[in-house]
């Protein structure tokens, strides 16, 4: 049974490993995975964790151990997945905008591949013909996702081959004898509405007659997770029900026994992670009380990059009277984590906890302002384990030619 990590435990971990610190709770990942597998139990479905959300190798190993597969967005992620022990038939590489040599490497590694341009598809067909089954990423021209920066399926998006270029794909199949096994779409991130996935399936269903060797419908990732009070997660049970009905009601898809694939990132790892940071300065600048922490957009870029909301708690003063604060980082440009938040009284030295930091948190961190990247800790089976050391000065100099 999954038990929430308490704020007291988080505080202990912060004291032991110091801050800034990413803390992940393994069982929370499994809990999310079980939600998916149980909802889709009677549909032939496989989940590939979108590892771009968080690639620490200990997380990858854990995800492999609970039975989930892995989706990669670069050849290096493929290599990490192999190092983590995933058998190659449990690894998917969904490429975009990449040099063909990376696809050749992926073929050498024998992983599943989705291709997202006519240009690479043509090169693939010419080199591998019918010898290597491959997937095509289709751009369904559907607008979906939490905001424009994370919407990927609309008609202005760089991703995939537009569905209206079907005749060009068919031409390539004819001339190079491609073996198209998968049709893939990923319409965006933070999608709450199950009907968006149904719409996507309907676009792909129209294409079925053009791909006689089709076995897999891959709907990508994008399930929404709650970031703030009142937010709702994508209703996975409803989603599974609607998808099942869509397959059963479709005259061409019904009876074909297509396999269904998903590539969830946030859904699996967002809520498992907290970023812990120490308050360095509290200052009243007239109309705003700022609390600055020993972290910043260099460690968690989502608020500044997507205006993303991350719940913030003062875990070292839970009984403090609530006051209004704007929480910032220590980076030498505006790096607001949250504005006008009601938080238990913040004193210098307090530890703040930033929720939903598992997905695209550490993974998008940088050394901006020559600050060190945080350490990472994993709590699993009640045990706390350091899974990445904090950077040191030599990490900033590594690769610099002096």
Task: List active site positions.
Answer: 332
Question: What does DSSP say about strands 351-354 and 273-284: parallel, antiparallel, or unpaired?
Answer: antiparallel
Buried/exposed 55-78: b ≥16 CB within 10 Å, e otherwise = bbebbbebbbeeebbbbbbbbebb
Is residue 100 part of the contact set for ligand LLP (CB under 6 A)? no
Residues 33-52 close enough to bind ligand LLP by CB under 6 A: 50
Residues in contact with ligand LLP, shown as a per-residue x/- string from 115 to 154 under the rule CB under 6 A? -----------------------------------x----
∠ CA 161-165-168, nearest 5°, is 105
Is residue 217 part of the contact set for ligand LLP (CB under 6 A)? no
Please say which residue, 180 or 357, places its beta carbon nearer to ligand LLP: 357
Do 224 and 196 meet the contact criterion of CB atoms below 8 Å apart?
Answer: no
How many chain residues are in contact with ligand LLP, going by CB under 6 A? 20
Is residue 186 part of the contact set for ligand LLP (CB under 6 A)? yes
Look-up of token digits 């490429």: 95
End-to-end CA distance of the chain: 53
What letter does residue 229 receive in the DSSP assignment? T
Residues 58, 386: Cα–Cα separation, whole Å: 10
Least spacing, CB of residue 392 vs ligand LLP, in Å: 27
Is residue 356 part of the contact set for ligand LLP (CB under 6 A)? no
CA–CA distance from 234 to each of 192, 225, 281, 293, 400 (Å)?
4, 7, 38, 32, 45
Is residue 309 part of the contact set for ligand LLP (CB under 6 A)? no
Residues 359-378 close enough to bind ligand LLP by CB under 6 A: 359-360
CA 303 remoteness from chain centre: 16
Least spacing, CB of residue 28 vs ligand LLP, in Å: 15
Residues in contact with ligand LLP, shown as a per-residue x/- string from 69 to 98 under the rule CB under 6 A? --x----------------------x----
Candidate residues 179, 306, 309, 372; the one interacting with ligand LLP per rule CB under 6 A: 306
Judged by the rule CB under 6 A, the positions of this chain that interact with ligand LLP are 50, 53, 71, 94, 150, 186, 189, 220-223, 263-267, 302, 306, 359-360
């Amino acid at each position: 049974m999954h038990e929430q990590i308490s704020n007291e435990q988080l505080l202990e971990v912060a004291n032991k490993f110091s801050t800034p610190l990413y803390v992940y709770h393994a069982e929370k990942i499994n809990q999310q995975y079980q939600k998916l597998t149980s909802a889709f139990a009677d549909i032939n479905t496989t989940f590939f964790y979108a590892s771009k959300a968080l690639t620490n190798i200990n997380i990858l190993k854990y995800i492999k151990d609970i039975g989930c597969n892995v989706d990669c967005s670069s050849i290096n992620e493929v290599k990490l997945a192999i190092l983590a022990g995933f058998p190659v038939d449990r690894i998917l590489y969904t490429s975009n905008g990449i040099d063909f040599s990376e696809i050749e490497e992926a073929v050498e590694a024998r992983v599943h591949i989705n291709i997202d341009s006519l240009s690479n598809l043509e090169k693939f067909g010419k080199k591998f013909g019918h010898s290597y089954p491959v997937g095509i990423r289709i751009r369904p021209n559907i607008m979906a996702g939490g905001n424009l920066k994370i919407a990927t399926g609309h008609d202005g998006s760089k991703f995939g081959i537009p569905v209206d270029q079907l005749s060009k794909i068919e031409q390539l199949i004819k001339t190079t004898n491609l073996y198209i096994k998968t049709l893939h779409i990923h319409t965006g991130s933070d999608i709450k509405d199950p009907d968006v996935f149904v719409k996507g399936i309907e676009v792909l269903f129209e294409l079925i007659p053009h791909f006689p060797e089709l076995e897999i419908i891959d709907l990508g990732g994008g399930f929404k997770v709650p970031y703030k009070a009142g937010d709702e997660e994508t209703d996975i049970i409803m989603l599974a029900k609607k998808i099942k009905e869509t397959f059963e009601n479709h005259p061409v898809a019904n009876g074909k026994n297509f396999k269904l694939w998903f590539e969830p990132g946030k859904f699996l790892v967002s809520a498992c992670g907290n970023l812990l940071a120490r308050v360095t300065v509290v200052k009243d600048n007239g109309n705003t009380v700022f609390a600055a922490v020993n972290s910043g957009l260099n460690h968690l870029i989502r608020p500044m990059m997507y205006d993303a909301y991350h719940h913030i708690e003062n875990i070292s003063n839970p009984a403090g009277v609530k006051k209004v604060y704007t929480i910032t980082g220590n980076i030498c440009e505006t790096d607001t984590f949250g504005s006008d938040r009601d938080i238990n009284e913040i004193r210098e030295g307090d530890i703040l906890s930033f929720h939903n930091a598992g997905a695209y948190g550490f993974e998008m961190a940088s050394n901006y302002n020559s600050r060190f990247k945080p350490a990472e800790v994993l709590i699993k089976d009640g045990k706390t384990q350091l899974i990445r050391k904090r950077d040191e000065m030599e990490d900033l100099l590594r690769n610099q030619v002096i």
